[in-house]
Structure 1
């Protein structure tokens, strides 16, 4: 039997557990340097399998009352990736009283996974398994699942997996924060260039004598967008995030659905949509979609089908 998986003697933890604890700071530094959430969760599952002494590991996201795979791509470990594919085909509903439901309800509790029936274990064929809560803030976002044939899971195993999941949550918070800061920097740069373009448009707009009350619009209304409005191409009018939002509008997604997919708040998505309407000079979302497709040269029906099929 592997020495890393030996049961803890009565007088203290085995040396293998102490060695793993000493390696955790280096593991954490490696995880927090990941560039995206998917990369982090895949690397975290791999590290949990290796460092905690298990055969298989994956991260399941919490979607309402269901546990789903899908946040990561293909896992490097074949056995873990087989588990991931099984989870993709069999999303698990949290049932009251199950170990996974109790852990989501009481993240701070020491929930023994072998003491009660587990729909998660039944769906994925788990044997001796442990769960760790990934909770960067107040809400549980995901569960770390680790599994092996033997020996049975003890309190020391549960504590180690729980600590690893907490470390993964800290790394997740850092990766998401860094991604948001990078996106904000890109948006600010793009807004600066957009502001300069708008100032130029104000200066270059023709002067007209109003025929009614008021002084007229500062920007003459145009009904057709020039597809060569910029030397860099028509989509240079939009920031990369605005292009993503516009593409999801083509699919008919709501602001809340777009927010969930792009990991943004609904208020942020609303701001992006408002800027899209202004930049595309559209009166509503339908008109914005039409003008966006005119810029990309796509047919509306074909574009919606191709994007939904991805």
Structure 2
């Protein structure tokens, strides 16, 4: 509130205030708040009568800061008492009683204001606590506007992200109107705002502060397309900057309540935006760590599978080395003369096949090297296993290499 709506000069006429119910409240009023409002109006009416004022000075009788009005009235009454040496006793007593009443009201309003802020901050903390438990970036972005309304008492909220010097709408919440929210989100996404020097958000990026737009219809700094689509009269906006760099914005208003936002709304949104920035950063880090964990887990599984395959091969070779020595001895004795006896046991083509098998070639590779079909390779491999008394290819290769080694030693 500017100074003109709170200053009450002693020699000026005062404009009579509107009923308390018409005063724009900062947050939804409780029954206790309404009772205080009635008492404030009664006290200000009494001040007007005792000080012989005809009108209350103000803006069409609407005052947002009740505490300031009571404070000004209390100051004026106190000054009149100090300067009222010629006042009648009854009038002076009435002024003194009024001063006590105004002082009590001022103290009660201050206490009530502190309680309001504590309740609001408690709600903000509760909302942020619910968001901190979310592990998905897309989910926390979708739910942020809803939590803004739930914890701060707004009717609508929009979450924007800053990307390539543009303001991109990410999520919208509109109390009890999901269709309206979807329409507004579509309009905002189809009309991203360029962060030029004329835009309100550009100033917030530069100054790192939240702002209150009191006249969204006439303020040239707002994004006109989005403001017209939302049909908002006033709103508050706060930057999201977890590490000092602005990464997005939250906008909110009280559209359904049909009242303008005030400084208290701006402070609450600012508190939420600050906490949300850290919650969002935590979620981003958690999601990245989860992705890295899954990647490491996949690598470990692949390594484990490879190790299992190597171990299985080693076990097969060990089985060959530990089998009946008499059988191996007979095979070795039968092929004691080395490669010449191997040539007698296996055909020339089978020798070529077993050599390529020992070199690690697959059936397809052997077929390509020898210019034969894979079926022929399989047939040769079957004969080789039978002739070398091997159970599988690995065992046949092992026996071939041992027999070849014996031939080299001779």
In structure 2, the residue corresponding to 1:143 is in which secondary structure? strand
Deviation string, structure 1 residues 133-188 (Cα, Å, up to 9, x no partner): 11222321111111234533332221111111111111111211221222121111
Return the alpha-carbon distance in structure 2 between the equivalents of residues 70 and 122 of structure 1.
Answer: 16
Classify 1:14/1:76 alpha carbon distance in 2 versus 1 (closer, same or farther; 3 Å): same
Q: Contact 2:124/2:268 (CA < 8 Å) preserved in 1? A: no
Match of 2:261 in 1: 153
Displacement, 1:131?
A: 0.8
2:236 to 115, 124, 130: 130
1:106 to 204, 207, 227: 207
Bigger helix fraction: 2
Classify 1:208/1:40 alpha carbon distance in 2 versus 1 (closer, same or farther; 3 Å): same
Deviation string, structure 1 residues 55-102 (Cα, Å, up to 9, x no partner): 211201111211112468999852433322221222111220322111
Match of 1:302 in 2: none
In structure 2, the residue corresponding to 1:34 is in which secondary structure? coil
Match of 1:21 in 2: 121
Displacement, 1:22?
A: 1.9
2:66 to 9, 23, 27: 9
Match of 1:36 in 2: 136
Within a 5 Å distance, the mapping from 1:67-216 to structure 2 comes to 67-70=167-170, 77-78=177-178, 79-107=180-208, 109-114=209-214, 116-125=219-228, 126-149=232-255, 150-198=258-306, 208=359
Displacement, 1:122?
A: 4.2
In structure 1, the residue corresponding to 2:211 is in which secondary structure? coil
Q: Report the number of matched residues.
A: 208
Classify 1:184/1:81 alpha carbon distance in 2 versus 1 (closer, same or farther; 3 Å): same
Q: Contact 1:59/1:144 (CA < 8 Å) preserved in 2? A: yes
Return the alpha-carbon distance in structure 2 between the equivalents of residues 74 and 22 of structure 1.
Answer: 22
Return the alpha-carbon distance in structure 1 between the equivalents of residues 176 and 207 of structure 2.
Answer: 31
Structure 2 gaps of 5+ residues are 1-20, 30-63, 68-108, 314-356, 366-410
Return the alpha-carbon distance in structure 1 between the equivalents of residues 174 and 233 of structure 2.
Answer: 22
Displacement, 1:207?
A: 6.5
Q: Contact 2:158/2:171 (CA < 8 Å) preserved in 1? A: no
Q: Contact 1:100/1:120 (CA < 8 Å) preserved in 2? A: no
Classify 1:73/1:53 alpha carbon distance in 2 versus 1 (closer, same or farther; 3 Å): closer
Classify 1:73/1:122 alpha carbon distance in 2 versus 1 (closer, same or farther; 3 Å): closer
Deviation string, structure 1 residues 224-260 (Cα, Å, up to 9, x no partner): xxxxxxxxxxxxxxxxxxxxxxxxxxxxxxxxxxxxx
Q: Contact 1:68/1:92 (CA < 8 Å) preserved in 2? A: yes
1:61 and 2:161 matched:
yes
In structure 2, the residue corresponding to 1:69 is in which secondary structure? strand
Q: Contact 1:130/1:146 (CA < 8 Å) preserved in 2? A: yes
Return the alpha-carbon distance in structure 2 between the equivalents of residues 161 and 81 of structure 1.
Answer: 22
TM-score, normalised by the number of residues in structure 1 = 0.57
- Structure 1 or 2, whichever has the larger Rg, is 2
Which of 1 and 2 has higher RCO (CA within 8 Å, sep 6+)? 1
Displacement, 1:45?
A: 0.5
